[in-house]
Amino acid sequence: MLSFFFEVRCLSKRIVSIFIIIIINCNLIACDANKKQRHEIEFFMLFDTVTQVVAYTETKEEFDNLSSIIYNSLKEYHELFDIYNNYENLNNLKTINDNAGIAAVKVNREIIDLLNFAKQEYENSDGLCNIALGSVLRIWHEYREYGIEFPESSSLPTMEELKFAAQHTDINNIIIDEKSSTVYLADAQMSLDVGAIAKGFATERVCQLAIKKGVTSALVSVGGNVRAIGSKYRNGEPWNVGIQNPNKEHSKKIIYTTLLDNKSLVTSGDYQRYYIVDGKRYGHVIDPKTLMPAENFKSVTIICEDSAKADSLSTIVYNMPFEEGFRYINDIPDTEAIWVLQDDTIKCSDNFEDYIMK
Amino acid sequence: MKFIKKTDIFIILIVIIISFVGFFIFKIILSNKPAKAEIYYKSELVMVVDLTETREKTFSIPQNNNVVFHVFTDGSICFSESDCPDKICIRTGKLNTIGESAACLPNEIILKIVPYDKENKNDIDLIAS
C-alpha cells in the first residue's frame, strides 16, 4: 500500500514537471507572438513604379480595406498627374501640356495644389526644383532610353539642343487662375514634368486620407517614397526602413536602418535610372543650372514628416554641393538628410543619428 | 511528510532554466536562419525559393520564360535576364537581405526577400531605393 502511494506520487511529480515545461514554453512563445499579422501587397500600375503597402492587422479583411483605400486614392492622383496618357472625361497634366500656348485648361483642385506647391519649392530652392523643365528632361529621356537599349551606340545630347530646349523652361509661364480653377502654359513649347515631386505629393495626400478614414498604422512606399503612418505596433514600436547602399555589389546592402514613426523617407540617386556613355554613368536627375545630370552624390536621403516635402528636398539637395545642402537642411526644423558621396563617404545632417537603429 | 520537498524545488528550477535556455537557443537559430525569396506574378505568389540551399541555379517562372532568375551559392538571388526595355530589374542586382525587393514593372514580376519563418520585430520592414 505504501509503495503504491509512493509510485503515484512519483508519477504525479512527473506529470506536474511536464506540465510546467509545457506551460512555460507556451508562455514564452505567446510573449513573442503578436496577435496582429503582417500583411503586404504590391501594386504595379501606378506612377510607373512599384507601390508597396505593409501593415500589421488582426484580419486580412482589415488589411484589404486599408490597402484599397490607398490604391483607389493613389490611382486618382496617378491619372491626374500623368503626363503620358489621356483619360476619358479627365483633364490631367497631359491635357495642360497638350494645350500649351493654346488654351487654359479647367482642372481639379489637386492639380492646382500640386502646381502651387511646385512653384513654392522652386522659390525656396532658387530654381533647383523646376517642374517646367519638361522640354529638357524629354531630350535626356530619349537619349537614355536609346542608350539602355543600344549600349554600343549610346551618346549624349549636344549642349545646343539642351540650351535651345532650356529657353522654354520658365516656371512663371505656368499661369494658374485659382478662381476659375484653370491652368495655362503661356509658352507653346514648354511642358510640365512633375517627376521630382508628384509621387511624394500624392503619397502624402493619400496617407492623409487614410488617416482621416481611421488608419493608425501602415507603411506605404510609392517607388521608394516611403511614408510611415503612425508606428508599427500599438506600443509605439517604430517601422524599420532600410536605406539602400547605392553600391549594388557591396555585401552590405543597407547603409543604415532607420526608425520611422509618422515620418517620410525619400532617396534620390543615380544608381537605378541611368545610362552609360563611353564608360561614364549619367543619372536621371538633371541639374537645371547646368542642364546636365547632377553628379555630386551617389545618393541623398531625406527624412521629414511630409512626404511631398521629402520628395522635393531630395531632388533639391541632390542638386546642391554638400556644404550648401548641409546648411540648407540644418536650417529646416525636424528635417534630416544623409549623403553618400561619390567616394562612398557618408555624411549626415546634425540630428540624423536620432533615426538610426543602433 | 511535506508536499513540496527541497528536491522538488530544485527540479522545478532546472526545468525553468532548461526551457529558458531552449527558448533562447531557438530564437538565435531562428534569427540566424537565412531568408527565402518569393516571386510574385501579377500580385499572385507563384514561387518560393529556398535560399539556404548552397546550390547555384538558373530558372524562370512558368508564366514568363523571358525573365530569368539566378540563385548564387552565397544565398543571394537576382534577375539575370529580362526582355523589358529599362532593365531596372537586372540593375537592382543581387538580393539577400530581408526586406529587399526587385521588380520588373513591364512584366509585372516582383522578387522579395522575406524571413524564413516568423517575423522578428527588428526585421527590416522595407528598403527604400
The interface predicted TM-score of the complex, written ipTM, equals: 0.73
Pair (B9, B39) in one structural domain: no
| pTM for the model | 0.81
Asked whether residue B125 is domain-assigned, the answer is no
Report whether pLDDT(A32) > 50. no
Tens of pLDDT, residues A283-341 = 999 999 999 999 999 999 999 999 999 999 999 999 999 999 999 999 999 999 999 99
Report whether pLDDT(B22) > 90. no
Give the Cα separation of A296 and A317 in Å (integer).
10
Q: Looking at per-residue confidence, does A204 or B22 come out higher?
A: A204
Pair (B23, B62) in one structural domain: no
Pair (B40, B28) in one structural domain: no
Domains and CATH numbers, chain A: 93-185 (1.10.3980.10)
* pLDDT recorded at residue A118: 97
CA angle B3, B6, B8 (to 5 degrees): 65
Can you give the residue range of the structural domain that contains B79?
Answer: 35-115
Pair (B15, B58) in one structural domain: no
Q: In Å, how far is B20's CA from the nearest CA of chain A?
A: 8
The residues pairing with B77 across neighbouring beta strands, listed in sequence order, are: B71, B95
| Residues B93, A226: C-beta atoms closer than 8 Å | no
CATH number of the domain where residue B45 is located: 2.60.320.10
Partner residue opposite A221 with nearest CB, options B22, B85, B126: B126
Q: Does B45 touch chain A (CB under 8 A)?
A: no
Pair (B56, B84) in one structural domain: yes
| Residues B91, A272: C-beta atoms closer than 8 Å | yes
Asked whether residue B83 is domain-assigned, the answer is yes
Tens of pLDDT, residues A223-242 = 889 999 999 876 788 999 99
* pLDDT recorded at residue A235: 73
| Residues B127, A24: C-beta atoms closer than 8 Å | no
Partner residue opposite A25 with nearest CB, options B19, B86, B92: B19
**Summary mean pLDDT of chain A:** 91
- Scan residues 79-98 of B and list those with Cβ closer than 8 Å to A: 85-88, 91-97
Partner residue opposite A44 with nearest CB, options B12, B108, B119: B108
Q: In Å, how far is B36's CA from the nearest CA of chain A?
A: 16
* pLDDT recorded at residue B2: 63
Pair (B110, B48) in one structural domain: yes
CA angle A118, A121, A123 (to 5 degrees): 115
Tens of pLDDT, residues A118-161 = 999 999 999 999 999 999 999 999 999 999 889 999 999 999 99
Q: Which residues of B touch A42 (CB under 8 A)?
A: 40, 43, 103, 110
Pair (B87, B101) in one structural domain: yes
Find out whether B23 and A28 touch, Cβ atoms under 8 Å.
Answer: yes
What is the total count of domains within chain B? 2
Average pLDDT rounded to a whole number, residues B108-118: 85
